[in-house]
Structure 1
Amino acid sequence: MGTHVIKMPDIGEGIAEVELSVWHVKVGDMVVEDQVLADVMTDKAMVDIPSPVHGKVISLGGVPGEVMAVGSILISIEVEGAGNYKESAQPAAAAVKEAPVAVAPKVEAESKPVAAPRPAAVCQGPMVAREADERPLASPAVRKHALDLGIQLRLVRGTGPAGRVLHEDLDAYLAQGQSNASAPVAAAYAQRNDEEQIPVIGMRRKIAQRMQDATQRAAHFSYVEEIDVTAVEELRAHLNEKHGATRGKLTLLPFLVRALVVALRDFPQINARYDDEAQVITRLGAVHVGVATQSDIGLMVPVVRHAEARSLWDNASEISRLATAARNGKASRDELSGSTITLTSLGALGGIVSTPVLNLPEVAIVGVNKIVERPMVVKGQIVIRKMMNLSSSFDHRVVDGMDAAQFIQAIRGLLEQPATLFVE
């Protein structure tokens, strides 16, 4: 038997160190070739580290949250044969030959199953009784979902990597009739003194750093405008009825992207990036629209490239493809970078007003609030109209208040008279 040592691979783009986000294996596990061992976080995305060999894990080189240099020892695996590590011949740093390790960009750690067997407490039986103080693996979104459903996560069998509890595991638990809904009503009013400490690592740490950096460096100001979307919603419904079966269904987002593209022709200072260290503003002709997308591990911003050159249905298809890729952990680093302006929407949860945070180095972000029907006065008559607010933020170092207001009002005019979206 020998030892095969895997070093932290060079992921490219000049990255010298990465953060170890999560282990999918532990000491003693048997692993197979191409099995995902760990996830590491770069500045842009989560990356899988697969195993190039079959064998048994004998040591781990770091803990989640630790920043590790490229070339440092990540994991040691006992293998048949000599392996690539000969401790008696020379010091470890010189003895380990770099094994070719393929890395694949990903966003969500839950998206790929792990081939290694999970602990018996997780894999056996429909009900898993963990210790009271044992914290099951689950994303924040799954934990909130479980809390809303009244489910104790420690009782749920996890089918994700390393026994991670997934949304579908909660559904399976409910289907088996084991939810806490049958517990005595008094249990809902029992005192609770439990506490939970959640390390801020991986994607959550990157999001926190970017949001803090954005609010500290940019001079944010927000502008809110009310828009009557009755006409564009009627057009959308008509196009879906006529072409939905052959071209795909349209949401409001591709119309908003089109409105951005047209309005930016008159406001090039808003489709820009600001390098505050070099004190240089770069205005771009290409409109690369970042579409904020929520995933189980946090907010991702996949990019619709060259939206100015795409049709309504092409933008719709690309938005759908990128959002699905981000949620399923398939978005590449290139697909998650390079935006020139960002569009963010909470859909039906959009509220009345929001104050979105800039996606630096961009200088504008357009936030979409929910559509509501309200009585409005039109030509002296009270009528029911579909109304929506745009809550947008700008970098006041680059964008003047009047320009921001006129830009959003231009979008308003395009959406309220949707034929103008397509008049050249």
Structure 2
Amino acid sequence: MPQFKQFPLPDTAEGLTEAEILTWHVGPGDAVKVNDIIVEIETAKAAVELPCPWDGVVTELLVEVGQTVEVGAPIITIDVDPTGAAGAPATNGAPAPAKGAEDEGRVANLVGYGPKTGPAKRRARKDAPAPAPVAATPAPVAPPAPAVAPAPAAAVAPPRPAPVARQATAPDPVTPAPVTPAPGGYVPLAKPPVRKLAKDLGVDLHGLTGSGPGGVITREDVEAALAGAPEPSTAPTASTVDGGARERRVPIKGVRKATAQAMVDSAFTAPHVTEFLTVDVTPMMELRARLKNAPEFRDVKLTPLAFAAKAVVLAARRTPDVNATWDAAAGEIVYKDYVHLGIAAATPRGLVVPKVRDADRMSLRELAIALDELATVAREGRTPPADMLNGTITITNVGVFGVDTGTPIINPGESAILALGAIRDMPWVVDGQVVPRKVCQLALSFDHRVVDGQQGSRFLADVGALLADPGVAMTY
């Protein structure tokens, strides 16, 4: 007989609490195998593809695209025994216990996903014939028989309820989420994903007329109301007329939500100090031009960011405070003998800060390659969540946007962040003469609980010196 299992949303990164469904790669009736990619989700850190933990046939997608789901909530139902090979009658003629009855409440999971709590449940197969009208109480699977008193629970394993008892699995009826009725007792008909969309967008369902079957409010109805369609119970106000269709609302979620919370936490927890330095980087740019023609760098994308990254890891050796962490819970400052260098990257999903692990152990060529790969993966939204954890210091390259500098906010858990500005041709005094030079502005924000002004100034001066004269690295 069919054997249904539900796959819960796993915690794909440390501390993940929810994720949004981006794309389903399978649908009801599709055959799947272990490790086939079934869905792509967006967490607060990145887009992640989830593999299937079982062989079987998809019977139901429990979550719509665009819906946000909490970790541990089921997202898909799979029939792991579609041929019914596992089912067989018991030798005494009584119904056989369901497969795995001795392990009731436990289902197979991918490594690291954790056990699923609660009893395993079944859902009706979508390709099954439509049942007769459902009564309020479950009907047995077998043909109707004279009513008898139920046997004691210990006497025989109880048969599973028939699929018709799970009204939530039928494709047409609406199962509204709990909602507070309007003063007149009217509860609008809408599916849970539509209710959540309306809540996120600030649309009152009580004022909408559903265009779906039976008056059900659809996603299109909510979006039309948001776009400025007149609502029956609300007269346009001045603000509605002025803004109306010229405004749009986007739910705060995913990367944007996580970034916003992290910046607020950092800005109002760590006392920021920002210092600035203008540097003549002409020697660095000349060295870059020479290295690009060297055999070992011919296939490498060598950018000014790679030189800045090398300067940061070298300067951090002389001022380890900028690479430390303030641990308020333990009452300690944690000094780290490694550099996991964060690189702030703008992506279509928002700002992310992936890390170059052990950047202090890399050569300039290795750093250049790592930075290029990191940027490519980040722009595609494929950065693994683990690659955005446990950074020690960060660089934000605002120069790529033609910006001279800024006052960057420190990433939570770190003590310093360097902003690298645009490199411009500017007049500069050299040996008493004003000449055109390649000039760049640097800005360093640091946590004044960990880094004193003298330490922050020395670190910034060291970075500037290494960019102004790369040969200084020989003295480190």
Q: 1:32 to 1:251 in 2, by over 3 A?
A: farther
Paired with 1:83 and 1:289, the residues of 2 have a C-alpha distance of 54
3-state secondary structure, aligned to 1:255? helix
> Could you say which residue in structure 1 is the equivalent of 2:107?
98
For the residue of structure 1 that corresponds to 2:384, the secondary structure is coil
2: distance between equivalents of 1:243 and 1:341?
31
Match of 1:58 among 57, 60, 84: 60
Amino acid at match of 1:327: R
What's 2:7 paired with?
A: 7
Secondary structure at the counterpart of residue 293 of structure 2: helix
User: Given that residues 232 and 418 in structure 1 are in contact (C-alpha distance below 8 angstroms), is that contact kept between their aligned partners in structure 2?
Assistant: yes
- Mark the CA change 1:341 to 1:216 in structure 2 (over 3 Å): closer, same or farther: same
Shift of 1:211: 1.4
| Bigger mean CA offset, 245-254 vs 264-273 | 245-254
Displacement of 1:408 in angstroms is 0.7
Q: Do residues 273 (structure 1) and 325 (structure 2) align?
A: yes
Q: Which residue of 2 aligns with 1:20?
A: 19
CA RMSD of superposed structures (Å): 3.4
Higher relative contact order (CA closer than 8 Å, sequence separation 6+): 1
Distance 2:247 2:319 in 1: 50
Q: CA deviation at 1:268?
A: 1.3
1:358 is aligned to 2:398: no
User: 1:302-338 CA deviation, whole Å, 9 max, x = no partner?
Assistant: 2222222211101111111222222334433332222
* Structure 2: stretches of 5+ with no match in the other structure: 87-96, 114-242
Between the two proteins, what is the percent identity of the paired residues? 32
Q: Evaluate the alpha carbon distance shift between residue 422 and residue 307 of structure 1 in structure 2; reply closer, same or farther with a 3 A threshold.
A: farther
1:238 equivalenced with 2:290 (yes/no): yes
Q: Which position in structure 1 is the counterpart of 2:172?
A: none
1:219-273 deviations in Å (ceiling 9; x for gaps)? 1121111111111001110111223664624211221122112212221111111
Query: Residues 2, 412 of structure 1: CA spacing in aligned structure 2 closer, same or farther, 3 A cutoff?
Result: same
- Counterparts of 1:81 and 1:96, CA distance in 2: 23
The residue type equivalent to 1:98 in the other structure is: V
What pairs up with 1:134-145 in 2 under 5 angstroms?
none
The C-alpha deviation readout for 1:266-311, integer Å capped at 9, x for no partner, is 2111111111232211111212211112222122222222222211
CA 398–350 in structure 1, closer or farther in 2 if over 3 Å, else same: farther
Question: What is the TM-score when the length of structure 1 is the normalising length?
Answer: 0.68
TM-score, normalised to structure 2, is: 0.61
Superposed, 1:247-258 pairs within 5 Å as 248-258=300-310
Aligned partner of 1:388 among 440, 465, 474: 440
User: In structure 1, what is the Cα distance between the partners aligned to 2:84 and 2:9?
Assistant: 22
Moved more, 381-390 or 30-39: 30-39
Q: Separation in 1 of the partners of 2:27 and 2:340?
A: 47
8 A contact 2:24–2:65 mirrored in 1: no
Aligned residues between the structures: 331
Contact 1:368 1:391 in 2 (8 A): yes
**How far apart are the structure 2 equivalents of 1:103 and 1:46?**
18
Q: Which residue of 2 aligns with 1:195?
A: 247
Task: State whether structure 2 residue 76 is matched by structure 1 residue 75.
Answer: yes
Instruction: Find the counterpart in structure 2 of residue 409 from structure 1.
Output: 461
Assess, with a 3 A threshold, how the Cα gap between structure 1 residues 62 and 248 changes in structure 2: closer, same or farther. closer
Indicate the residue corresponding to 1:48 in structure 2: 49
Q: Alignment partner for residue 229 of structure 1, among 254, 267, 281? A: 281
1:273–1:283 Cα contact (<8 Å) kept: yes
- Return the offset for 1:32: 4.6
CA contact (8 A) 1:350 1:368 kept: no
Q: Indicate if the aligned counterparts of 1:371 and 1:388 stay in contact, CA closer than 8 A.
A: yes
Change in Cα spacing, 1:63 to 1:325, as seen in structure 2 (3 Å) is closer
